[in-house]
Structure 1
């Protein structure tokens, strides 16, 4: 399913959220409506957040991601390995966040394809500088918002397994299960597989 995406800085409040996405995918598989899922998440604190405000802030991003995970990917996410879940989560983030997809496609994938396993601050800064010039929307964001986004992007890289450690600048390939790869190719989402460095 295709969503027309605009640039958004929503990742600032909702970067990785793998555990939370899994909870929602499980409920969706049971045929529970979005409204019921929302009230379950809030009333039963399914995300296990201490702050109810944070649930309300992150819920729209989690739902958006759950929406792009089809029934086959949902099964892999719920029943497959943690590695499978991470890849599907990364796919859902890229599919619902245009700026992050472009970052993966233009920076990370390029580096991995060129056997350049170092992601430096300047790489991230150059990417954002180019986007600031290309997009009025991004150029309207505050400097602090952009700094937070840079950190959120690096956090997703780390949690997805692309960085060896939280402070590391060293990149590595992640393993994408063949079933997921074939499925994404079949549904016409090969560009997301490429953006993951395949």
Structure 2
């Protein structure tokens, strides 16, 4: 008797990552699965869009930070012309803010690369079936900060400059704002992040994925 799963078409996966070794590793993992196959690879967001149009994969694995065009922009573009595209983010960047950006862009799931062996295959199957897939660490961060007020784009820009070591006067000059406005914005940022100084603000914002260091 032939099992139904043997006759079903395998899940066709597009792998998007700027590291060839990562792509090769994932392709090798998929090759060992009876119900999956890697149908193509891309090294950045622009190539991902091109390959998606060409191959029409069932599931796309998408890195976030890549040269030329990043994953978030690529997800938005793909979902713009293919509303039912199923995209699973696979990244090293943890944090609830990163995950929220990806999900709002249209991702069906968010997985960290250190979870690959344990969770990737199940996540691909879940996303293909129309469900969401979020790794446990990210799910915990999302739950922990579910009711926290998010940082605005201006607040993130200010924090990024703080992280680079710029004093308030330089930040004000760069953003064409007054020093008093920067001070007021920093006070609001501290309140939102639950911190009391610039160093702690940068640490928390980095951990949550608002800024990179």
Same fold (TM over 0.5): no
TM-score by length of 1: 0.28
Q: Name the one with the larger strand percent.
A: 2
Q: Name the one with the larger helix percent.
A: 1
TM-score by length of 2: 0.27
Which structure is higher in RCO with an 8 Å CA cutoff and minimum separation 6? 1
The structure number with the bigger radius of gyration is: 2
